[in-house]
Chains A and B, each alone.
Chain A
Amino acid sequence: MIWNKTIECRDREEMRELQSKRLCETVNRVYYNVPFYRNKMQELGVYPEDIEGIDDIVKLPFTTKQDLRDNYPFGIFASPMQDIVRVHASSGTTGKPTVVGYTRKDITTWSEIVARTLNFAGVSKDDFIQIAYGYGLFTGGLGLHYGGERLGATVVPISGGNTEKQIQLMQDFKTSVIACTPSYALYLAEAMQERGVDPKSLNLKVGIFGAEPWTEAMRENIEESFGIKAYDIYGLSEIMGPGVACECEAKAGLHINEDHFIPEIIDPNTLEQLPEGQKGELVFTTVTKEGLPLLRYRTRDLTSLNYEKCECGRTLVRMNKCTGRSDDMLIIRGVNVFPSQIESALLKINEVLPHYMLEVDRINNLDVLSVLVEVDPVFFSDKIKELEKLNKRIKKAIVDVIGINANVKLVEPKTLGRTEGKSKRVVDKRIIQ
Chain B
Amino acid sequence: MIAKQLSVFLENKSGRLYEVMEILEKENINIVALSVADTTEYGILRMVVSDPEKALKALKDNLFSVGLTDIVCICIPNEVGSFSKASKYLSEEEISIEYMYAFALNDKALAVLRTENNEKCIEVLTNKGIEVVSADKLKKI
| Inter-chain contacts of B99 with A (CB < 8 A) | 383
Nearest A residue to B62, CB-CB: A414
Contact of B9 among A375, A388, A409 (CB under 8 A): A375
Q: Are B44 and A384 closer than 8 Å at their CB atoms? A: yes
A side interface size, CB within 8 A: 17
Do A380 and B65 contact each other (CB < 8 Å), given the known contacts A412-B9, A412-B11? yes
Do A410 and B63 contact each other (CB < 8 Å), given the known contacts A380-B9, A415-B11? no
Q: Are B64 and A412 closer than 8 Å at their CB atoms? A: yes
User: When chains A and B are docked, how far (Å) is the Cα of A381 from the Cα of B99?
Assistant: 13
| Inter-chain contacts of B37 with A (CB < 8 A) | 384
Q: Are A413 and B65 closer than 8 Å at their CB atoms? A: yes
Number of chain B interface residues as a range: 20 to 34
Contact of A377 among B11, B39, B44, B66 (CB under 8 A): B66
The answer, yes or no, to whether A49 is at the interface (CB within 8 Å) is: no
User: When chains A and B are docked, how far (Å) is the Cα of A393 from the Cα of B60?
Assistant: 26
Q: Are A410 and B66 closer than 8 Å at their CB atoms? A: no
| Inter-chain contacts of A388 with B (CB < 8 A) | 39
| Inter-chain contacts of A413 with B (CB < 8 A) | 63, 65
Contact of A412 among B5, B10, B39 (CB under 8 A): B10
Q: Are B42 and A410 closer than 8 Å at their CB atoms? A: yes
User: When chains A and B are docked, how far (Å) is the Cα of A380 from the Cα of B66?
Assistant: 7
User: When chains A and B are docked, how far (Å) is the Cα of A384 from the Cα of B35?
Assistant: 13
| Inter-chain contacts of A380 with B (CB < 8 A) | 7, 9, 65-67
User: When chains A and B are docked, how far (Å) is the Cα of A225 from the Cα of B105?
Assistant: 62
| Inter-chain contacts of A43 with B (CB < 8 A) | none
Interface residues as binary, A165-185 with B (CB distance below 8 Å gives 1, 0 otherwise): 000000000000000000000
User: When chains A and B are docked, how far (Å) is the Cα of A411 from the Cα of B39?
Assistant: 12
B102-138 contacts to A (CB < 8 Å) = 114
B1-39 contacts to A (CB < 8 Å) = 5, 7, 9-11, 37, 39
| Inter-chain contacts of B64 with A (CB < 8 A) | 377, 412
Shortest beta-carbon distance from A353 to chain B in Å: 10
Do A377 and B60 contact each other (CB < 8 Å), given the known contacts A382-B69, A412-B65, A413-B65? yes
| Inter-chain contacts of A383 with B (CB < 8 A) | 44, 98-99
Interface residues as binary, A363-394 with B (CB distance below 8 Å gives 1, 0 otherwise): 00000000000011100111110011000000
User: When chains A and B are docked, how far (Å) is the Cα of A252 from the Cα of B87?
Assistant: 73
| Inter-chain contacts of B44 with A (CB < 8 A) | 382-384, 387
| Inter-chain contacts of B46 with A (CB < 8 A) | 382
Shortest beta-carbon distance from A196 to chain B in Å: 33
| Inter-chain contacts of B60 with A (CB < 8 A) | 377
Q: Are B41 and A409 closer than 8 Å at their CB atoms? A: yes
Q: List 5 A-B contacts (CB under 8 A).
A: A380-B66, A383-B44, A387-B39, A412-B63, A414-B63
Give the top 9 A-B pairs by smallest Cβ distance, nearest first: A382-B7, A377-B65, A414-B63, A380-B67, A380-B65, A382-B69, A413-B65, A409-B41, A382-B44
A residues bordering B, Cβ < 8 Å? 375-377, 380-384, 387-388, 409-415
B residues bordering A, Cβ < 8 Å? 5, 7, 9-11, 37, 39, 41-42, 44, 46, 60, 63-67, 69, 98-99, 114
